[in-house]
Chains A and B, each alone.
Chain A
């Protein structure tokens, strides 16, 4: 494997890996949008009249 081969491989694999990791980090970092939160009527409070 030549030096140019190492450079291409590291750049290619590094670029797609870095981009994926950065994207997943950004997605996980942001909280879910408010409309995705469970509504009140989905929470079982076990209240008994």
Chain B
């Protein structure tokens, strides 16, 4: 009998033993308890088995510098650049919004991005690519790796619903390309189609296949997106993510320029409404002090500062754990100062120069002031109900609509592939699994999660719950941990030396003090105020709605799973390369 079979048999016997000890407990709790214990034991068996075979494997690396920059930029550029940002700017007095936006970029976005790149490269130099491993070498404490668990939970849990939204974009692109999205000028028809397509009316309705043509079902698109993500990630860092981003990012920008050219040449599409023209649309987006308010009155709105901070924070993908993971594959003396700035600048270009000129002017010329204000309140409303109707109204709309949704699909895909790498990295370095096994394991976990989100689709309740607790709360927490680790544990001097090493531009030293004092304070204030305003509703929902409770339970289960994975990895790291040994390297 082979070692693995013997181990599995022992694990099974152990499971039976544990089951026999659980008499008297409710069946569900007992099952969960047994599963957790069994998985834990399986990790131990697997890890010990693999450790004997591979102590050190060939480390993955980026193929070129422009490749890693495009990969990080691709990770950051997503739906928010083309839908969320213009919506927020339009809601908060257009041009006035740009003032807190750029201030936050300097005080929060760029410093945190530099900190993440620096910690990632530092961890990579010590052989770690996952956030638990990176935290382990940054903060030499036994607890440190467990703070990094959020760097696994966040991208994987976000992937579970993000891939679903990605599938909507692909489906809409296909429907525009084939001409089956021509639903006329009645917005209710687009709303009805969207509800049916994504299953907002009933739980499980997105899975319905009887009586639904395949082009009206989201499942084929979802399957294609899922497979595409895992094929790219399976091909590895250089031949998968990097190669894909090298053509997808330029393609995305070409698509954006095509749509931008069409929007800026719309003129006055309806002569009966001469005020609804492109110039006024641009004015709606960029004018200072409209609606009878002065600039100073607009700037006195604290909510606008919070929203600007939130937008910068989410658009740069800081606090996800992805940037550190990507940076860990750099060489110890590779530049991070210029690379980080370039990735941030690329994302800002897509957001401000492309997203800022496309969405709101296009919506304004067809809907006017009142219509655009209503449309920009919800990202889904703007992206999947209002804009499709607008594309169907404008000349060349079918082509422009198809290109726009291809653009959104590429933006989403370059982001979603980056969400898989941190967990793959831990499975490879922590458990010693090969690429195939890691991809298979993560594929199974994410498919269960995505199935959960897609099934409980009524009013997008599971998606919304995941987005709030993971896509907002956990991200703030992880970003705060990262900033505190960089500013206070690594410290200003060591942190500055780390950023300076190999740097091709000089980062002013005052940024280190911003990271130490301003960024954590800013983050905490924004987080607490935002939590105070929104968390109560979401907490109350847990008690009222069983699907919300189930979604939170799923997130907790996922967290426990990654916690166990990390604990097992720590045991392995301590055997293979203890911290005191690494310190001497």
Residues in A lying within 8 Å of B, measured CB to CB:
1-2, 4-6, 8-9, 12-13, 15-17, 19-20, 22-24, 26-28, 30, 32-33, 35-36
Contacts and interface: CB of A to CB of B under 8 A. Distances in A.
B435 to A, nearest CB: 21
Interface stretch (B4-12, B285-293, B576-584): B285-293
16 contacts: A1-B279, A5-B94, A5-B282, A8-B288, A9-B286, A20-B345, A20-B348, A22-B345, A23-B346, A24-B342, A26-B342, A27-B69, A28-B66, A30-B338, A33-B65, A33-B331
Contacts of A5: 94-95, 282-283, 286-288
B342 A35 contact: no
Interface in B343-360: 345-346, 348-349, 351-353, 356-357
Nearest to A23: B342
Contacts of A32: 64-65
A34 B454 CA distance: 48
Closest 3 CB pairs of A and B: A1-B283, A8-B95, A5-B287
A26 B504 CA distance: 8
A15 B101 CA distance: 13
A26 B503 CA distance: 12
Given A28-B66, A32-B65, A36-B64, A16 B349 contact: yes
Contacts of B345: 16, 19-20, 22-23
Given A5-B282, A15-B102, A27-B69, A35 B353 contact: no
Contacts of A2: 283, 287-288
A32 to B, nearest CB: 6
B14 to A, nearest CB: 47
Given A4-B287, A4-B288, A27 B357 contact: no
B180 interface: no
B507 interface: no
Contacts of B353: 13, 16-17
A33 B288 contact: no
A11 to B, nearest CB: 8
A17 B349 CA distance: 6
B61 to A, nearest CB: 9
Interface in B479-537: 502, 504-505
A8 B94 CA distance: 9
Task: Tell me what chain B mostly uses at the interface: helix, strand, loop, or mixed.
Answer: helix
Given A23-B345, A26-B504, A26-B505, 10 more contacts: A1-B287, A5-B288, A12-B286, A12-B352, A13-B357, A16-B349, A19-B341, A20-B342, A27-B65, A36-B331
A6 B504 CA distance: 34
Contacts of B18: none
Contact of A13 (B339, B356, B504): B356
A2 B335 CA distance: 42
B333 interface: yes
Contacts of A6: 286
A1 B286 contact: yes
Contacts of B338: 23, 26-27, 30
Given A4-B289, A17-B349, A27 B342 contact: yes
B286 A20 contact: no
Contacts of B279: 1
A33 B285 CA distance: 43
A22 B64 CA distance: 19
A35 B335 CA distance: 13
Nearest to B99: A8
A30 to B, nearest CB: 6
Given A4-B287, A5-B95, A9-B286, A16 B352 contact: yes
Nearest to B295: A4
Contacts of A4: 95, 287-289
A20 B282 contact: no
Contact of A36 (B65, B339, B356): B65
Contacts of A23: 338, 341-342, 345-346
A22 B342 CA distance: 9
B98 interface: yes
Contacts of A24: 342, 346
A8 B65 CA distance: 33
A33 B349 CA distance: 27
A47 B352 CA distance: 55
Contacts of B65: 27, 32-33, 36
Contacts of B341: 19, 23
B369 interface: no
B348 A33 contact: no
Contacts of B288: 2, 4-5, 8
Contacts of B502: 33
Nearest to A18: B345
B60 interface: no
Given A13-B356, A26-B504, A33-B331, A8 B286 contact: yes
Contacts of B282: 1, 5, 9
B421 to A, nearest CB: 20
B280 interface: yes
Contacts of A9: 95, 282, 285-286
Contacts of A20: 342, 345-346, 348-349
B269 to A, nearest CB: 17
Contacts of A1: 279-280, 282-283, 286-287
A16 B134 CA distance: 31
Interface in B265-307: 279-280, 282-283, 285-289
